[in-house]
Amino acid sequence: MTKGILAFGAYIPWRRLPRKAIAETHGWFNPALKGQAKGERAFCNWDEDPVTMAVEAARDALAARDRATIAALRFASTTYPFLDRLHSGIVAGALNLPEDVSAIDVAASQRAATSALIEALVSDSETLVVASEKRGAKAASPVEMMSGDGAAAVLVGPGKPVATLLGKASRTTDFVDHFRSVDNQFDYQWEERWIRDAGYMTAVPPVIKRCLEQAKVAAKDVTHFCMPATLARVASAVAKAAGLDEKALCDPLHANCGDTGAAHSLLLLVATLERAKAGDKILLVGFGQGADALLLEVTPEIGTRPRNLAVTGHLARRKEEASYGRFLAFNDLIELERGMRSETDKATPLSSLWRNRETVTSFIGGKCSKCGTLQMPRTDICVNPNCNAIGTQQPHAFADMAGRIKSYTADRLTYAPDPPSCYGMIEFEEGGRVMIDFTDIDTAALKVGQLMQMMFRIKDIDTARGFRRYYWKAAPKTGHA
């Protein structure tokens, strides 16, 4: 059976900040920002982070697939929210994957995603590779301008792949172009010309050459060249040095998303696969303390893949954010007076979280085996007044079910990081109801009957202990691209 990429998906947050808003605010201090003030960058809502974005990218990739066959999960990022917790384990729980899944976090390098993808492509197991990044940056810095938040996911294994691996090569060297430590939350970057000449131009072309030689493919036959690079014209310089056609350069997604760090190589791959046709050859490069190169060939199966949002659909799902202040607040770059109502102790009983993990993390409710009634959460007694059977509840997944607003409230009395706090009753189209928070919605657009979907988000953050609780929220339903 042929091995390769079976499915792919992506996630880009709803809000987009025009770069001119950053330049207009900080131009007095750093006039050079005005030269970078074109386009917009994606940024997370207050209740999003690399974990929640990874879950949504994976759900996008797996929308039409059975998850029971996934044997391994690899989660690549350099911005995990916890120092000592298995983030891929949270993702596996949210996706309701089998508990015998092999889950590993892949970290500490901008090429973590390509390294994880290479491992998956040479494995015999069906592996889900996800990459997600929410890079912090100092206000008025070039990194703030060029970065964006986002995630991508690729399912790899035996079956009917949309792309197969022709060749691969890697090089590892401790070339430090930037770094971040426990004591320094923001990247410290060295001089750009040195990064280009001693880093990219030294490491990448030889790795590409070895990859193409292994695949027995000429450089001129590469259809698409995907290599993240925040430095101007580096990708084109590498392509020229490697003998690639300049027409093969893919869109770096700078204009409408921004560089998503360790996730960007997979994000570019997904964007390319969306528009690729059978026979196309995709050269994917990851750079960071060396380089990875993978040459993939698109198969005829690309024409029969189920449609999902992927990159194109998520780029279309956007809201321009006029307030740079909201961006600063969501990224903890300014300290707001949050008021007395924000001072509630939000300690999380870890034992309770463990006991209720099916409901909280996997969003599993119940279905009565006697009358078929759905309910959320699951209880010992059926909620159908004409049934009330005891002990008949079977687990039933609600995360992928759509529902409509039955009632709603926009509450400005309670504390919310993004007021007002919107919540209400959702009635699922297949049956069952739940009272739940809303997210990614304009207050003025709230209406009874609005179609909603479930999304994995941060419920709240215990700032005293540094713990964040995840749960599900309702957001306006987005159609497929």
Q: Is the pLDDT of residue 349 over 90?
A: no
Q: Cα 466 to the chain's mean position, in Å?
A: 22
CA 348 – CA 333 distance, rounded (Å):
26
Q: Can you count the helices (H) and strands (E) in the chain?
A: 13, 22
| Domain contains 389 | no
CA distances from 324 to 149, 254, 273, 311 (A): 16, 19, 33, 24
Residues in the chain: 481
Contact 129/102 with Cβ under 8 angstroms? no
Task: Dump pLDDT digits (tens) for 162-183.
Answer: 999 999 999 999 999 999 999 8
Let me know whether 10 and 126 are in one domain. yes
Q: Is the pLDDT of residue 342 over 80?
A: no
Q: How many CA atoms, within 13 angstroms, populate the side-chain half-sphere of residue 66?
A: 3
Task: Dump pLDDT digits (tens) for 94-129.
Answer: 999 999 999 999 999 999 999 999 999 999 999 999
| Domain contains 153 | yes
**Closest-CA residue to 378 (of 370, 363, 387):** 363
pLDDT at position 481 is: 41
User: What average pLDDT does this structure show over 246-260?
Assistant: 97
Could you give the number of structural domains in the chain? Answer: 2
- How would you class 279 by CB atoms within 10 Å of its CB: exposed for 0-12, middle for 13-18, buried for 19 or more? exposed
pLDDT at position 232 is: 83
| Domain contains 46 | yes
Domain endpoint, select from 330, 352, 382 = 330
Q: Which two tokens stand for residue 291?
A: 């380089």
CA 467 – CA 338 distance, rounded (Å):
19
CA 113 – CA 57 distance, rounded (Å):
14
Share of the chain above pLDDT 90, in %: 90
| Domain contains 387 | no
CA 475 – CA 11 distance, rounded (Å):
14
Residue 144 CB neighbours (<10 A)? 26
DSSP one-letter string for 79-91? --S-SSS-HHHHH
Q: In one letter, which amino acid is 408?
A: Y
pLDDT at position 338 is: 79
| Domain contains 368 | no
CA 74 – CA 103 distance, rounded (Å):
6
* 3-state secondary structure at position 113: helix
pLDDT at position 84 is: 97
CA 426 – CA 399 distance, rounded (Å):
13
Let me know whether 160 and 287 are in one domain. yes
Q: State the DSSP code for 259.
A: B
CA 139 – CA 146 distance, rounded (Å):
12
Tell me the backbone φ, ψ of residue 64, rounded to 5 degrees: -115, 25
CA 21 – CA 52 distance, rounded (Å):
26
Let me know whether 165 and 121 are in one domain. yes
CA 389 – CA 373 distance, rounded (Å):
11
Let me know whether 246 and 346 are in one domain. no
- How would you class 258 by CB atoms within 10 Å of its CB: exposed for 0-12, middle for 13-18, buried for 19 or more? buried
Q: Is the pLDDT of residue 346 over 50?
A: yes
User: Residue 463's pLDDT band (boundaries 50, 70, 90)?
Assistant: confident
pLDDT at position 249 is: 97
Can you name the residues that pair with 179 across neighbouring β-strands? 188
Q: Which two tokens stand for residue 450?
A: 């609005």
Let me know whether 324 and 348 are in one domain. no
Q: In one letter, which amino acid is 33?
A: L
Let me know whether 291 and 356 are in one domain. no
Task: Dump pLDDT digits (tens) for 271-325.
Answer: 999 999 999 999 999 999 999 999 999 999 999 999 999 999 999 999 999 899 9
| Domain contains 69 | yes
pLDDT at position 164 is: 98
**pTM score over 0.85:** yes
Task: Dump pLDDT digits (tens) for 358-398.
Answer: 999 999 999 999 999 999 999 999 999 999 999 999 999 99
* 3-state secondary structure at position 278: coil
Can you give the CATH number for the domain in which 454 is found? 2.40.50.840
Contact 282/163 with Cβ under 8 angstroms? yes
User: Residue 348's pLDDT band (boundaries 50, 70, 90)?
Assistant: confident
Q: Which two tokens stand for residue 324?
A: 């740079």
Q: Is the peptide bond before 377 cis (omega within 30 degrees of 0)?
A: yes
* Paired sense of beta strands 15-18 and 40-43, if any: antiparallel
| Domain contains 388 | no
| Domain contains 412 | yes
DSSP one-letter string for 374-396? EESS--SB-S-TTT--BS-EEEE
CA 181 – CA 112 distance, rounded (Å):
17
Tell me the backbone φ, ψ of residue 148, rounded to 5 degrees: -155, 160
Let me know whether 142 and 262 are in one domain. yes
Let me know whether 247 and 297 are in one domain. yes
Let me know whether 319 and 441 are in one domain. no
- Choose between 348 and 13: higher pLDDT: 13
**Closest-CA residue to 230 (of 182, 158, 294, 178):** 178
Which residues 6+ apart lie within 8 Å of 35 measured at CB? none
Let me know whether 164 and 279 are in one domain. yes
Let me know whether 212 and 359 are in one domain. no
Let me know whether 258 and 277 are in one domain. yes
User: What average pLDDT does this structure show over 409-433?
Assistant: 95
Can you give the CATH number for the domain in which 280 is found? 3.40.47.10
- Domain range spanning residue 437? 341-363+398-476
pLDDT at position 145 is: 94
Tell me the backbone φ, ψ of residue 261, rounded to 5 degrees: 60, -130
Contact 229/201 with Cβ under 8 angstroms? no
User: Residue 200's pLDDT band (boundaries 50, 70, 90)?
Assistant: very high
